[in-house]
C-alpha cells in the first residue's frame, strides 16, 4: 500500500526507537498529497516534536476499523507549514505491508482485569494472561465460586497503562485448563477489534526492533 492510498478514514501511529527504548505516538490524519501524509503535529507538553535526530528509527502503522493494519517499517517525519498551519509530514520510499494475522502473534500481559458473564454475573477479578488477533486468555483463582462453562460468552475489561487505552472485549470460551492456583479460560473473540489489531501490530513491531538491537 502506498502512502497516497491512505484516506482520512484511517487511523495511524508511529513508533520511534533507538538503542535503548521504543515510544509509540498517535495523531490524526488531515490529508494526503503527492505521496506525503499530513497529520496533526506530535506534541509533548505543548511543544511540537522534532524527528531530525540521526540516532532514531521511525515506523508507522495505519489501519481502518475492523480491517488489518498496514505497516511501514521505515518512514521519515518532518515539519511543514501549509496555509499558515503546521503539520508533521510522513513519507516513505517503500510501500506499507499488511500485518500477517496467520503469524498468530500473542502478547503476554499478566495484568489485572475484570470479567463478567453478561446477564449472569457481576464483574469479577481475573488476570489477563495474553491477547492475540483471534482471542484472549484469562486466569481465575481456583478457589473462586465462579465457574465458566465452555462456549459461554465472556466480557473482559482491562486497561493498557503503557498505551493509555481501555479495552472491552467479547469472547467465547473455547478452552479450559485447571492449574495449581488458577483456572485458565481461553476465549475466541466474537468479532474483530481494531484496537486489538493496532495493539498487536505495535507489539509485533517492538519485538522486531528489539531483536534487531540484540543483533547489533
Cβ–Cβ under 8 Å, residues 140 and 182: yes
Q: Could you report the per-residue pLDDT of 92-130, keeping only the tens digit for each? A: 988 988 875 544 578 888 999 999 999 999 999 999 999
CATH of the domain at 28: 2.30.110
Number of domains within the chain:
2
Q: Residues 65, 136: one domain?
A: no
Which of 55-64, 96-105, 170-179, 194-203 tops mean pLDDT? 170-179
Would you say residue 215 lies in a domain?
no
| Three-state secondary structure call for residue 197 | helix
Would you say residue 213 lies in a domain?
no
- In this structure, of 65-69, 86-90, 138-142, 167-171, the range with the lowest mean pLDDT score is 65-69
The Cα–Cα gap between 197 and 181 comes to: 31
Q: How confident is the model at residue 187 (pLDDT cuts 50, 70, 90)?
A: very high
- Give me 48's grid cell: 511540537
According to DSSP, the β-strands at 97-98 and 70-72 are antiparallel
Q: Residues 15, 28: one domain?
A: yes
According to DSSP, the β-strands at 97-98 and 106-116 are unpaired
Within 10 angstroms of residue 200's Cβ, the number of other Cβ atoms is 23
Angle at 212 between CA 15 and CA 79, to 5 degrees: 30
The Cα–Cα gap between 196 and 202 comes to: 10
Q: Could you report the per-residue pLDDT of 10-62, keeping only the tens digit for each? A: 988 888 877 666 678 889 999 999 899 999 999 888 889 988 877 788 889 88
Within 10 angstroms of residue 98's Cβ, the number of other Cβ atoms is 12
Determine the structural domain holding residue 172 and report its residue range.
102-196
Q: Would you put residue 114 in left (φ > 0), alpha (ψ -120 to 50) or beta?
A: beta
Task: Please give the pLDDT value at position 100.
Answer: 58
The Cα–Cα gap between 113 and 128 comes to: 6
Residues in contact with 91: Cβ distance below 8 Å, sequence separation at least 6, in sequence order = 3, 35, 36, 37, 75, 76
Q: Residues 152, 128: one domain?
A: yes
Q: Residues 90, 127: one domain?
A: no
Cβ–Cβ under 8 Å, residues 71 and 205: yes
The residues pairing with 138 across neighbouring beta strands, listed in sequence order, are: 128, 185
Amino acid at each position: 500500500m502506498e502512502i497516497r492510498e491512505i484516506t482520512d478514514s484511517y487511523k495511524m501511529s508511529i513508533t520511534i526507537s533507538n538503542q535503548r527504548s521504543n515510544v509509540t505516538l498517535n495523531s490524526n490524519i488531515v490529508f494526503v498529497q503527492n505521496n506525503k501524509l499530513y497529520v496533526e503535529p506530535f506534541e509533548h507538553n505543548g511543544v511540537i516534536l522534532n524527528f531530525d535526530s540521526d540516532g532514531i528509527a521511525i515506523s508507522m502503522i495505519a489501519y481502518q476499523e475492523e480491517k488489518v493494519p498496514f505497516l511501514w517499517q521505515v518512514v521519515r517525519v518532518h515539519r511543514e507549514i501549509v496555509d499558515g498551519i503546521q503539520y508533521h509530514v510522513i513519507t516513505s520510499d517503500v510501500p506499507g505491508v499488511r500485518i500477517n494475522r496467520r503469524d498468530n502473534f500473542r502478547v503476554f500481559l499478566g495484568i489485572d482485569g475484570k470479567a463478567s458473564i453478561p446477564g449472569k454475573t457481576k464483574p469479577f477479578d481475573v488476570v489477563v494472561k495474553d491477547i492475540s488477533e483471534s482471542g484472549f486468555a484469562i486466569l481465575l483463582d481456583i478457589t473462586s465460586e465462579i465457574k465458566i462453562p465452555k462456549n459461554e460468552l465472556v466480557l473482559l475489561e482491562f486497561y493498557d497503562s503503557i498505551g493509555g487505552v481501555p479495552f472491552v472485549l467479547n469472547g467465547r470460551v473455547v478452552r479450559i485448563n485447571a492449574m495449581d492456583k488458577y483456572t485458565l479460560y481461553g476465549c475466541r473473540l466474537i468479532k474483530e477489534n481494531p484496537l486489538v489489531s493496532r495493539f498487536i501490530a505495535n507489539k509485533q513491531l517492538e519485538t522486531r526492533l528489539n531483536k534487531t538491537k540484540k543483533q547489533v
